[in-house]
């Protein structure tokens, strides 16, 4: 059994980690850490865990947790993990960090976009970007995984085959992305209250969203050239789900079947990637509560553009589910172990 600890266990992502890991056949959930709920039983914080999880929360002490666990998930705000994680910690325990602290390879780029110092430059190159379908072989050998952002996961999976094959113009990529409220985390914030969000859709952080450099870094690596994207995120009045619509100019006059074959070649054996039929486009309600990413596309002959639509559950494939998928790879387990939950419909 893999002994698991979770730091930040009482946020939305932490709760999803607990839910998934309690049902994982190879996991012993040992430690739940939450600085705001020390000594509280977990089912007293979340009623949905009544009679299911009575573990008492402890304070955030990574050194202590490392002595009792084989892997620790850090579901913390940005700026904390880079202080906590050290080489000596990684000699004792594997870390899957769900914050942004180790996603970017440049300390300077991190500071520019996150407006705070990064405290561990040496580990930036040691960390592996944990997009499982892209970095599987590197994940297997790593002790420090930077779990990708939710927008980034959906966007990169939509564009990966096209950029890897060099069939879209690298300077033409535009991404229109929409996320449910839980993407903002479990915090009290005026702009995320029901009365502020319900019956409204709004764009936010246009040109300044923190997932932009993460997406550009991975797409540039894929294509072998520097890529700059236009990325427009929107907040929609649903609890969970991300939908990204990606636009790019095709380099040649490809037809639907040729593009379909490219996607199938990349994703046919990927358990969690589902390609929709021609003329059918993904919807968030069909991935809710699951680790699936659904992708569909069409070609607009009139403009020479391809339009790709992708959806994920931001808390699962966009966070906790992908983190468990990374754990499975690191410990040489079946990649879908504990993650075969069928999407919930209707909700």
| CA–CA distance, 76 with 271 (Å, rounded to integer) | 28
Q: 6 to each of 46, 52, 60, 178, 323, how far by Cα in Å? A: 16, 17, 9, 28, 11
pLDDT given for residue 190 in this prediction: 67
- Determine the Cα angle at 346 with ends 188 and 270, to 5°: 90
> In angstroms, what is the C-alpha Rg of the chain?
20
pLDDT given for residue 188 in this prediction: 66
Residues 205, 325, 320, 285, CA torsion sign: positive
Residue 57 known to be catalytic:
no
Given the residues 150, 158, 246, 293, the one annotated as active site: 150
The two tokens of residue 101 are: 């602290």
pLDDT given for residue 194 in this prediction: 76
| CA–CA distance, 117 with 115 (Å, rounded to integer) | 7
Q: Give me the helix-helix angle, 212-223 and 107-114, nearest 10°.
A: 150
| Alpha helix ranges (H) inside 238-320 | 256-267
| CA–CA distance, 215 with 94 (Å, rounded to integer) | 25
Domains and CATH numbers, the chain: 2-126 (3.40.50.720), 151-312 (3.30.360.10)
Q: What is the full per-residue pLDDT of the chain (347 aa) written as tens digits?
A: 999 999 999 999 999 999 999 999 999 999 999 999 999 999 999 999 999 999 999 999 999 999 999 999 999 999 999 999 999 999 999 999 999 999 999 999 999 999 999 999 999 999 999 999 999 999 999 999 999 999 999 999 999 999 999 999 999 999 999 999 887 777 767 677 777 778 889 999 999 999 999 999 999 999 999 999 999 999 999 999 999 999 999 999 999 999 999 999 999 999 999 999 999 999 999 999 999 999 999 999 999 999 999 999 999 999 999 999 999 999 999 999 999 999 999 87
| CA–CA distance, 241 with 179 (Å, rounded to integer) | 6
Convert 221-257 to b/e letters by CB count within 10 Å (16 or more is b): ebbeeebebebbbebbebebbbbbbbbbebeeebeee
């Amino acid at each position: 059994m893999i002994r698991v600890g979770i730091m930040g266990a009482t946020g939305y992502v932490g709760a999803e980690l607990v839910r998934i890991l309690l049902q994982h056949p190879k996991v012993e959930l040992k430690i739940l850490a939450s600085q705001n709920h020390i000594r509280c039983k977990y089912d007293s914080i979340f009623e949905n865990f009544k009679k299911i999880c009575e573990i008492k929360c402890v304070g955030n002490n990574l050194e202590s947790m490392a002595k009792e666990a084989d892997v620790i998930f850090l579901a913390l705000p940005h700026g904390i993990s880079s202080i906590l994680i050290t080489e000596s910690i990684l000699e004792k325990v594997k870390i899957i960090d769900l914050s942004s602290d180790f996603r970017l390879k440049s300390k300077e780029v991190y500071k520019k976009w996150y407006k705070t110092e990064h405290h561990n430059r040496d580990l930036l190159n040691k960390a592996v970007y944990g997009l499982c379908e892209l970095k599987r072989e590197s994940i297997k050998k790593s002790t420090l995984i930077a779990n990708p952002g939710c927008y980034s996961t959906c966007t990169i999976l939509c564009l990966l085959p096209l950029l890897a094959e060099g069939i879209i113009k690298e300077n033409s990529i535009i991404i229109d992305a929409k996320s449910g409220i839980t993407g903002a985390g479990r915090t009290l914030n005026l702009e995320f209250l029901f009365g502020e969000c319900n019956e409204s859709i709004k764009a936010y952080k246009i040109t300044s969203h923190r997932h932009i450099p993460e997406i550009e870094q991975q797409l540039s690596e894929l294509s072998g050239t520097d890529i700059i994207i236009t990325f427009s995120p929107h907040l929609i009045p649903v609890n969970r789900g991300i939908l990204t619509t990606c636009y790019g100019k095709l380099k040649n006059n490809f037809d639907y079947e040729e593009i379909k074959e490219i996607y199938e070649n990349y994703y046919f054996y990927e358990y969690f990637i589902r390609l929709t039929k021609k003329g059918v486009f993904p919807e968030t309600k069909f991935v809710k509560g699951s680790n699936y990413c659904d992708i569909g596309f069409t070609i607009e002959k009139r403009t020479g553009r391809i339009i790709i639509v992708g959806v994920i559950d931001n808390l699962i494939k966009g966070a906790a589910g992908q983190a468990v998928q990374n754990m499975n790879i690191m410990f040489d387990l079946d990649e879908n172990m504990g993650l075969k939950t069928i999407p919930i419909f209707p909700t």
